[in-house]
Chain A
Amino acid sequence: MTKVHVTTTINGDPTEFLCEPDETLLDVLRDRLGMTGSKEGCGTGDCGACSVTLNGRLVCSCLVLGAEAEGQEIGTIEGMAQGENLHVLQKKFIEHAALQCGICTPGLLVAAKSLLEKNPDPTEEETRYWLAGNLCRCTGYDKIIRAVMDAAKEMREAA
Chain B
Amino acid sequence: MALDSKSDLPQFKVVGTRPARPDGIDKVTGRARFGADMSAPGMLTGLILRSPHAHARIVSIDTSKAEALAGVHAVVTRKDFREITDDDFTADILDNCMAGAKALYDGHAIAAVAASSTKIAREALKLIDVTYEKLDHVTDVDEAIEDGAPVLHEGRSDETVPAGMSPNVLSRYEFGHGDPEEGLKNADHVVERTYKTEATHQGYIEPHACLAQMGPDGQGDLWVCTQGHYMVRNTCAAILGIEQGQLRVTASEIGGGFGGKTTLFLEPVALMLAKKSGRPVKMVMTRSEVLRATGPTASTSIDVKIGMTKDGKITAGFAEMRYQGGAYPGSPVEFGAMSAFAPYDLEHVKTIGWDIVTNRPKAAAYRAPGAPMAAFAVESAIDELARHFGLDPLEVRLKNAAREGTKASYGPTYPAIGLEATLRTAKDHPHWSAPLGENQGRGVACGFWFNFGGDTCVTLNITPDGTVTVSEGNPDIGGSRASMSMMAAEELGIPYEKVRTIVADTGSLGQNEVTDGSRVTFAVGLATIEAARAAKREMCKRAAMIWGIDEEAVEWVDGAAQPAGPNAGKFPPMTLAEIAETASNTGGPIAGHHEANPEGAGVSFATHMCDVEVDPDTGAAKILRYTVFQDAGKAIHPAYVEGQFQGGAAQGIGWALNEEYIYGDDGILQNAGFLDYRVPVASDLPMIDAVILEIPNPGHPYGVRGVGETSIVPPLAAVANAVSAAAGVRMTDLPMSPPKLLAALHAKG
Question: B-contacting residues of A (Cβ < 8 Å)?
Answer: 20, 30, 35-44, 46-47, 49, 76-78, 80-81, 86, 90, 93-97, 99-106, 109, 124-125, 127-129, 131-146
Is B387 in contact with chain A by the CB < 8 A criterion? Answer: no
From B30-38, B158-166, B313-321, give the one contacting chain A: B30-38
Query: Are A43 and B33 in contact, with the CB atoms below 8 A?
Result: no
Is B286 in contact with chain A by the CB < 8 A criterion? Answer: yes
Tell me the bound Cα distance from A143 to B28 in angstroms: 15
Interface of B is mostly: loop
Given contact pairs A30-B37, A139-B646, A140-B647, enumerate 11 new A-B contacts (beta carbons under 8 Å).
Answer: A39-B206, A86-B29, A100-B640, A101-B255, A101-B257, A103-B206, A131-B682, A137-B202, A140-B680, A141-B650, A141-B682
Query: Are B258 and A137 in contact, with the CB atoms below 8 A?
Result: yes
B contact residues around A86 at 8 Å (CB): 25, 28-29
A contact residues around B21 at 8 Å (CB): 94, 97
Query: Are A104 and B286 in contact, with the CB atoms below 8 A?
Result: no
Residue of A nearest to B478 (CB): A100
Question: A-contacting residues of B (Cβ < 8 Å)?
Answer: 18, 20-21, 23-25, 27-34, 36-37, 119, 202-207, 253-258, 284, 286-287, 477-479, 637, 639-640, 642-643, 646-647, 649-651, 673-675, 679-685, 687-688, 690
A contact residues around B25 at 8 Å (CB): 86, 90, 94
B contact residues around A103 at 8 Å (CB): 34, 204-206, 253, 255-256
Known: A42-B674, A43-B286, A100-B640. A137 touches B205 (CB 8 A): yes
A contact residues around B258 at 8 Å (CB): 137
B contact residues around A80 at 8 Å (CB): 28-30
Tell me the bound Cα distance from A109 to B205 in angstroms: 16
- Of all A-B residue pairs in the complex, the 5 with the closest CB atoms, nearest first, are A37-B30, A103-B255, A140-B650, A102-B27, A97-B639
Known: A99-B28, A145-B682. A41 touches B643 (CB 8 A): no
9 contacts between A and B (CB under 8 A): A36-B37, A44-B287, A47-B287, A49-B205, A93-B24, A97-B479, A97-B639, A101-B255, A142-B688
Tell me the bound Cα distance from A49 to B34 in angstroms: 13
A contact residues around B205 at 8 Å (CB): 39, 41, 47, 49, 101, 103-104, 135-137
Tell me the bound Cα distance from A81 to B28 in angstroms: 9
Residue from the list B27, B202, B204, B254 in contact with A99, Cβ < 8 A? B27
Known: A41-B207, A100-B643, A100-B647. A141 touches B479 (CB 8 A): no
Which of A43, A95, A102, A145 has the most CB atoms of chain B within a 10 A radius of its CB?
A102
Query: Are A43 and B119 in contact, with the CB atoms below 8 A?
Result: no
Tell me the bound Cα distance from A8 to B205 in angstroms: 29
B contact residues around A93 at 8 Å (CB): 24, 28
Tell me the bound Cα distance from A99 to B710 in angstroms: 20
Query: Are B673 and A128 in contact, with the CB atoms below 8 A?
Result: no
Tell me the bound Cα distance from A47 to B642 in angstroms: 24
Query: Are A145 and B687 in contact, with the CB atoms below 8 A?
Result: yes
B contact residues around A129 at 8 Å (CB): 682-683
Query: Are B651 and A143 in contact, with the CB atoms below 8 A?
Result: no
Known: A106-B30, A109-B28. A132 touches B682 (CB 8 A): yes
A contact residues around B24 at 8 Å (CB): 93-94, 99
Query: Are B36 and A40 in contact, with the CB atoms below 8 A?
Result: yes
Tell me the bound Cα distance from A79 to B395 in angstroms: 55
Residue from the list A41, A94, A101 in contact with B28, Cβ < 8 A? A94
Query: Are A81 and B29 in contact, with the CB atoms below 8 A?
Result: yes
A contact residues around B119 at 8 Å (CB): 20
Residue of B nearest to A96 (CB): B639
Tell me the bound Cα distance from A134 to B205 in angstroms: 10
Query: Are A37 and B29 in contact, with the CB atoms below 8 A?
Result: yes
Query: Are A128 and B639 in contact, with the CB atoms below 8 A?
Result: no
B contact residues around A40 at 8 Å (CB): 36, 207, 284
Query: Are A46 and B673 in contact, with the CB atoms below 8 A?
Result: yes
Query: Are B643 and A138 in contact, with the CB atoms below 8 A?
Result: yes
Residue of A nearest to B476 (CB): A101
Residue of A nearest to B18 (CB): A97
Which of B284, B651, B682 has the most CB atoms of chain A within a 10 A radius of its CB?
B682
Residue of A nearest to B681 (CB): A132
Tell me the bound Cα distance from A39 to B255 in angstroms: 10
A89: shortest Cβ distance to chain B, in Å? Answer: 8
A contact residues around B20 at 8 Å (CB): 94-95
Query: Are A140 and B649 in contact, with the CB atoms below 8 A?
Result: yes
Residue of A nearest to B38 (CB): A36
Residue of B nearest to A49 (CB): B205
Residue of A nearest to B28 (CB): A90
Residue from the list B29, B255, B680, B685 in contact with A90, Cβ < 8 A? B29
Query: Are A140 and B29 in contact, with the CB atoms below 8 A?
Result: no
A110: shortest Cβ distance to chain B, in Å? Answer: 9
Query: Are B477 and A135 in contact, with the CB atoms below 8 A?
Result: no
Query: Are A137 and B33 in contact, with the CB atoms below 8 A?
Result: no
B contact residues around A90 at 8 Å (CB): 25, 28-29
A22: shortest Cβ distance to chain B, in Å? Answer: 9
Query: Are A137 and B29 in contact, with the CB atoms below 8 A?
Result: no
Tell me the bound Cα distance from A44 to B291 in angstroms: 14
Query: Are A46 and B675 in contact, with the CB atoms below 8 A?
Result: yes
Residue of B nearest to A103 (CB): B255
Query: Are B683 and A132 in contact, with the CB atoms below 8 A?
Result: yes
Tell me the bound Cα distance from A103 to B673 in angstroms: 18
Tell me the bound Cα distance from A146 to B111 in angstroms: 46
Known: A103-B206, A137-B647. A78 touches B679 (CB 8 A): no
A contact residues around B675 at 8 Å (CB): 44, 46
Tell me the bound Cα distance from A42 to B672 in angstroms: 10
Tell me the bound Cα distance from A41 to B646 in angstroms: 21
Residue from the list A101, A131, A132 in contact with B256, Cβ < 8 A? A101
B contact residues around A124 at 8 Å (CB): 687
B contact residues around A136 at 8 Å (CB): 205, 682
A20: shortest Cβ distance to chain B, in Å? Answer: 7
B contact residues around A49 at 8 Å (CB): 205
Query: Are B682 and A134 in contact, with the CB atoms below 8 A?
Result: yes
Residue from the list A44, A127, A134, A138 in contact with B673, Cβ < 8 A? A44
Known: A100-B478, A135-B681, A137-B651. A105 touches B287 (CB 8 A): no
Tell me the bound Cα distance from A18 to B525 in angstroms: 49
Query: Are A142 and B28 in contact, with the CB atoms below 8 A?
Result: no
Query: Are B32 and A102 in contact, with the CB atoms below 8 A?
Result: yes
Known: A93-B28, A103-B206. A140 touches B685 (CB 8 A): yes
Residue of A nearest to B202 (CB): A137
Query: Are B29 and A143 in contact, with the CB atoms below 8 A?
Result: no
Residue of A nearest to B26 (CB): A102
Query: Are B29 and A97 in contact, with the CB atoms below 8 A?
Result: no
Known: A76-B30, A94-B24, A132-B681. A143 touches B643 (CB 8 A): yes
